[in-house]
């Protein structure tokens, strides 16, 4: 039985040695896996950071270009709106001047019509009288009258 106990003790030692050997291999494998995961994670973070930086830089330049385009468009729209406002003011001023001119013309034509009616009324009331002849403005009919007229006017 001692022999059997010796064999069992021997087997038990071998099993413990194998167990320790396998535990060491498992620890080494676990350490290797941990190192691989850590290095992989760091590499992934590095790649994601680089991609994020590149995307951010690209988007920043695109957004900057879009903002610049919108600012120039806004300036152009503002200038066009100012021109339209100026044109509208000028048109309004011109319409006011036209309205004033038409009012003045209406008043003037009304005054002319009233004056013409008064003249017509006065002409109807007065008898037709012959206008006196003015020798100075009368045209001479003969040569003798012409010579008389030039001598009297000098």
Give domain status of residue 35, yes or no: yes
Q: Are residues 47 and 103 in the same domain?
A: no
Number of domains in the chain: 2
Give domain status of residue 128, yes or no: no
CA-angle at 67, arms to 57 and 54, nearest 5°:
5
Q: Are residues 1 and 32 in the same domain?
A: yes
Q: Would you say 140 and 149 are in contact if contact means Cβ atoms under 8 Å apart?
A: yes
Range of the domain at 37: 1-64
Give domain status of residue 147, yes or no: no
Give domain status of residue 131, yes or no: no
Q: Would you say 140 and 146 are in contact if contact means Cβ atoms under 8 Å apart?
A: yes
Q: Are residues 59 and 1 in the same domain?
A: yes
Give domain status of residue 152, yes or no: no
Give domain status of residue 135, yes or no: no
Statement: the pTM of the whole predicted model exceeds 0.85: no
pLDDT tens-digit map of 38-76: 999 999 999 999 999 999 999 999 999 999 999 999 999
Q: Are residues 58 and 85 in the same domain?
A: no
Rounded distance, CA 134 to CA 117, Å?
Answer: 29
Per-residue pLDDT of the chain (154 residues; tens, 9 = 90+): 888 888 888 899 999 999 999 999 999 999 999 999 999 999 999 999 999 999 999 999 999 999 999 999 999 999 999 999 999 999 999 999 999 999 999 999 999 999 999 998 888 887 665 555 555 555 555 656 555 555 555 4
Answer positive or negative: Cα dihedral of 95, 97, 98, 103: positive
């Amino acid at each position: 039985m001692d022999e059997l106990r010796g064999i069992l003790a021997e087997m038990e030692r071998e099993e413990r040695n194998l167990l320790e050997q396998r535990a060491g291999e498992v620890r080494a494998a676990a350490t290797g896996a941990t190192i691989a995961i850590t290095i992989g994670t760091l590499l992934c973070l590095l790649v994601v950071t680089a991609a994020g930086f590149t995307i951010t830089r690209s988007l920043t330049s695109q957004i900057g270009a879009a903002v610049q385009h919108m600012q120039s468009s806004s300036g152009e729209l503002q200038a066009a709106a100012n021109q339209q406002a100026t044109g509208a003011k000028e048109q309004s001023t011109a319409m006011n001047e036209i309205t004033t001119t038409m009012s003045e013309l209406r008043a003037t034509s009304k005054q002319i019509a009233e004056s013409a009616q008064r003249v017509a009324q006065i002409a109807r009331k007065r008898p037709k009288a012959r206008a006196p002849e003015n020798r100075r403005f009368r045209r001479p009919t003969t040569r003798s009258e012409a010579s008389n007229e030039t001598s009297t006017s000098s």
